[in-house]
């Protein structure tokens, strides 16, 4: 979703090739030869084979700089990369663990483990709340940092994660969900 959001934000045409994840097509030799991690997305265009969504997104930003989804000043760009890293190291893992747990029958869910994941999120949210108190997006203008969070923020409702103690985070999540790129990618089976 994160790379498709960038493609949509930049109004770039692309073909989407679906990989059958449940049947582990991503672990077949042909796929491992293009992404040794055996994961989607992989972005392919003439002269470029790129994987890891954060790298795909930076590639697209460099190759198609308009509209800009990244600040140009080196310090602000470093801040954006730190936020992307924060998302991938502190936000995504507890959300994924909660998602897996939520798919198990109630009797098999470990409440202590779920509480640890929720605690981890509740350590992160105040940092985001502070940052969003005086601006609509993490760096002021919408950037790759925001869209790195958005698909996972979109799961909070479903996972029963209460954002109401963090009203600026909750408003930011709504703002991100209301961007046409997010909605098109969420509902789109193709493109």
Ligand X SMILES: N[C@@H](CCC(=O)N[C@@H](CS)C(=O)NCC(=O)O)C(=O)O
Measured from the CB atom, the residue of 82 and 115 that comes closer to ligand X is 82
Residue 154 binds ligand X, judged by CB under 6 A: no
Q: Which of residues 123-152 bind ligand X (CB under 6 A)?
A: none
Among 10, 39, 77, 177, binds ligand X (CB under 6 A): 39
Q: What is the rounded CA–CA span in Å between residue 9 and residue 180?
A: 8
Residue 90 binds ligand X, judged by CB under 6 A: no
SS3 sequence of the chain: CHHHHHHHHCCCCCCCCCCCCCCCHHHCHHHHCCCCCCCCCEEEECCEEEECHHHHHHHHHHHCCCCCCCCCCHHHHHHHHHHHHHHHHHHHHHHHHHHHHHCCCHHHCCHHHHHHHHHHHHHHHHHHHHHHCCCCECEEECCHHHHHHHHHHCCCCCCCCCCCCCHHHHHHHHHHHCCHHHHHHHHCCCC
Among 10, 25, 44, 52, binds ligand X (CB under 6 A): 52
- As measured in angstroms, the least distance from the Cβ of 31 to ligand X is 10
Residue 40 binds ligand X, judged by CB under 6 A: yes
Measured from the CB atom, the residue of 68 and 99 that comes closer to ligand X is 99
- As measured in angstroms, the least distance from the Cβ of 20 to ligand X is 10
Q: What is the CA radius of gyration of the chain?
A: 17
Only segment of 49-57, 121-129, 154-162, 175-183 that touches ligand X (CB under 6 A): 49-57
Encoding tokens for residue 106?
């109630």
Residue 21 binds ligand X, judged by CB under 6 A: yes
- As measured in angstroms, the least distance from the Cβ of 106 to ligand X is 26
Only segment of 35-43, 65-73, 113-121, 161-169 that touches ligand X (CB under 6 A): 35-43
Binding-site ranges for ligand X (CB under 6 A): 21, 26, 38-41, 52-54
């Amino acid at each position: 979703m994160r790379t498709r959001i960038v493609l949509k934000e930049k109004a770039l045409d692309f073909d989407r090739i679906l990989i059958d994840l449940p049947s582990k097509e991503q672990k077949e030799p042909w796929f491992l030869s293009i992404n040794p991690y055996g994961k989607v997305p992989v972005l392919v265009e003439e002269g470029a084979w790129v994987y890891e969504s954060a790298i795909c997104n930076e590639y697209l930003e460099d190759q198609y700089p308009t509209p800009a989804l990244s600040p140009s000043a080196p310090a602000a760009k470093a801040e954006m990369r730190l936020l992307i890293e924060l998302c991938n190291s502190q936000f995504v893992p507890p959300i994924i663990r909660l998602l897996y747990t939520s798919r198990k029958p109630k009797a098999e869910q470990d409440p202590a483990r779920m509480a640890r994941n929720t605690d981890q999120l509740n350590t992160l949210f105040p940092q985001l709340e502070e940052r969003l108190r005086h601006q609509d997006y993490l760096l002021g203008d919408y950037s790759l940092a925001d869209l790195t969070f958005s698909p996972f923020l979109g799961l909070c409702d479903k996972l029963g994660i209460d954002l109401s103690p963090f009203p600026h985070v909750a408003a930011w999540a709504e703002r991100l969900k209301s961007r046409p790129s997010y909605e098109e990618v969420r509902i789109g089976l193709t493109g």
